């Protein structure tokens, strides 16, 4: 019976069931046939999983990011980044990386960055001479950085699941997020120099100043959020609420790119995305309770300990596992399901939980554009009808580039703990 229950989640997942139904079915079967407990424990675990003050920040940050990105802000960010890198060879590709990074500091949504940068930058990249597969790869891989750059929904979910400080996780994600962007920029600059790609424009101090002034209100949101959190003025959840108010005021009264009707549509979309995330949170809480009750984490720690792996070997194995999982499961689901299982193993080996949270987030950010099921690839395919084979070819070099950055982040803990360690 125990073996059959172990196979049940895998069988349901392969059959195409939604992840929350997979988790709930496994937990329900455990309660009915193994633990012989009353079914009310499922309800208690589900509601207990979403009964967290920190989770209130998820809908707020989602809504604030959607308002800022859909309110015409993305075009201003593109103009600002292009004005700063206009003289550099391959400036348009570098502007794609820079734009995704800035959008990540406002929304934390890789899907939003993929759609926005794809619409604004993929056609110009192709016109400038980049092969379409490579141009799509630039957009998809750059957007993956967004779930690492704080405020990050993935880090909030990890913090809640692992019972770690969300402000510390946000701080810890800054340097790794910038490192991913830096590795991407270095690769694209080298490609531009070798392929003879010229700069999109020229640098002008006046143009840069105008673009900065146009973008100043938008850049104020991450400044207010992080300044308030680390200045001790408000908590991350309160900061998310303030970000919502700020985003609405700027979009409605300053930029005036959206009206009240569009604002309600954005609110509806954000509500739907929040519901999708929280139903997985609730199901994962039940699944985590099942794992803990059945002693799986303790058994896994003992089993791994029997191999006598060095910490670097354990982290290598965990990275490979997370990269494979990221290919087929979205980051939220992977974090909620795997954190209770993997965290005891790595902490037993002496890995800092904050550092591991960044390792997990970076791995899953790479999964956002890794074949076969990277979400960013599906978004670009639906938007531009690019054949899947082309998309797969286009992202391959960027998977290698970001895996190199992942190796640095994994084996140089100070990159994460320098800001987020204390």
Retrieve residue 133's tokens.
């597969």
Predicted pLDDT of residue 168: 92
> How does 287-309 read in b/e, with b if 16+ C-beta sit within 10 Å?
bbbbbebbebbeebbeebeeeee
- Looking up tokens 């354990």 gives 314
> SS in 3 state form for 188-231?
HHHHHHHHCCCCCCCCCHHHHHHHHHHHHHHHHHHHHHHHHHHC
Judged by DSSP in three states, 299 sits in: helix
Identify the residue whose tokens are 């599906």: 378
E strand residue ranges, 292-419: none
196: tokens are: 């003879």
Crossing angle, helix 74-85 and helix 205-230, to 10 degrees?
120
Pick out the chain residues at pLDDT < 50.
1
Could you tell me how far CA 299 lies from the centroid of its own chain?
Answer: 30
Nearest to 307 by CA among 274, 345, 256: 345
Residue 362 is predicted with a pLDDT of 95
| CA distance to 171, 265, 270, 361, per residue, from 177 (Å) | 10, 31, 24, 10
CA 294 to chain centre: 31
The rounded distance, in Å, linking the Cα atoms of 231 and 224 is: 10
| Contact present, 141 and 184 (Cβ < 8 Å) | yes
Provide the pLDDT for residue 363. Answer: 94
Which 8-state DSSP code applies to residue 258?
Answer: S
Distance CA 148, CA 183 (A): 14
Cβ atoms of residues 51 and 237 within 8 Å = no
Q: What is the pLDDT at residue 49?
A: 73
Q: What is the pLDDT of residue 420?
A: 62
How far, in Å, CA of 190 to CA of 88, rounded? 11
Residue in the block written with tokens 């899953």 = 364
Q: What is the CB-side half-sphere exposure of residue 343 using CA atoms within 13 A?
A: 23
By CB atoms closer than 10 A (0-12, 13-18, 19+), residue 94 is buried
CA–CA separation, 253 and 235 (whole Å): 26
């Amino acid at each position: 019976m125990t073996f059959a229950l172990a196979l049940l989640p895998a069988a349901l997942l392969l059959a195409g069931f939604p992840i929350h139904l997979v988790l709930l079915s496994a937990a329900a079967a455990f309660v009915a046939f193994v633990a012989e407990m009353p079914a009310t424990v499922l309800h208690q675990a589900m509601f207990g999983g979403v009964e967290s003050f920190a989770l209130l920040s998820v809908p707020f940050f989602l809504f604030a990011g959607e308002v800022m990105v859909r309110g015409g802000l993305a075009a201003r960010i593109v103009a600002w980044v292009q004005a700063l890198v206009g003289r550099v060879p391959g400036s348009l590709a570098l502007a794609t990386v820079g734009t995704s990074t800035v959008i990540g500091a406002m929304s934390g949504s890789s899907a939003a960055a993929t759609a926005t940068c794809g619409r604004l930058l993929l056609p110009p990249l192709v016109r400038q001479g980049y092969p379409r597969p490579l141009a799509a790869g630039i957009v998809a891989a750059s957007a993956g950085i967004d779930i690492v750059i704080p405020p990050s929904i993935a880090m909030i979910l990890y913090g809640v699941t692992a019972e770690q400080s969300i402000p510390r996780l946000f701080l810890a994600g800054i340097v790794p997020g910038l490192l991913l962007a830096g590795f991407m920029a270095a690769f694209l600059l080298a490609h531009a120099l070798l392929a003879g790609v010229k700069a999109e424009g020229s640098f002008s101090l006046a143009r840069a100043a105008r673009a900065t002034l146009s973008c100043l209100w938008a850049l104020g949101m991450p400044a207010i959020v992080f300044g308030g959190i680390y200045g001790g003025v408000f908590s991350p959840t309160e900061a998310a609420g303030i970000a919502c108010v700020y985003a609405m005021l700027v979009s409605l009264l300053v930029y005036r790119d959206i009206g009240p009707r569009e604002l309600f549509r954005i609110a509806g979309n954000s509500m739907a995305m929040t519901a999708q995330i929280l139903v997985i949170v609730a199901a994962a809480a039940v699944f985590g309770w099942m794992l803990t009750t059945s002693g799986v984490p303790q058994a896994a720690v003992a089993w791994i300990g029997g191999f006598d792996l060095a910490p670097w070997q354990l982290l290598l194995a965990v990275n490979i596992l997370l990269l494979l999982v990221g290919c087929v499961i979205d980051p939220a689901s992977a974090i909620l399901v795997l954190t209770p299982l993997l965290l005891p193993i790595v902490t037993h080996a002496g890995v800092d939980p904050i550092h591991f949270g960044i390792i997990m987030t970076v791995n899953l950010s790479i999964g956002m554009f890794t074949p076969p099921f990277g979400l960013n690839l599906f978004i670009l395919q639906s938007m531009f009808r690019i054949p899947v084979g082309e998309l797969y070819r286009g992202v391959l070099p960027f998977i290698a580039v970001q895996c190199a950055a992942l190796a640095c982040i994994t084996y140089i803990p100070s990159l994460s703990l320098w800001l987020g360690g204390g």
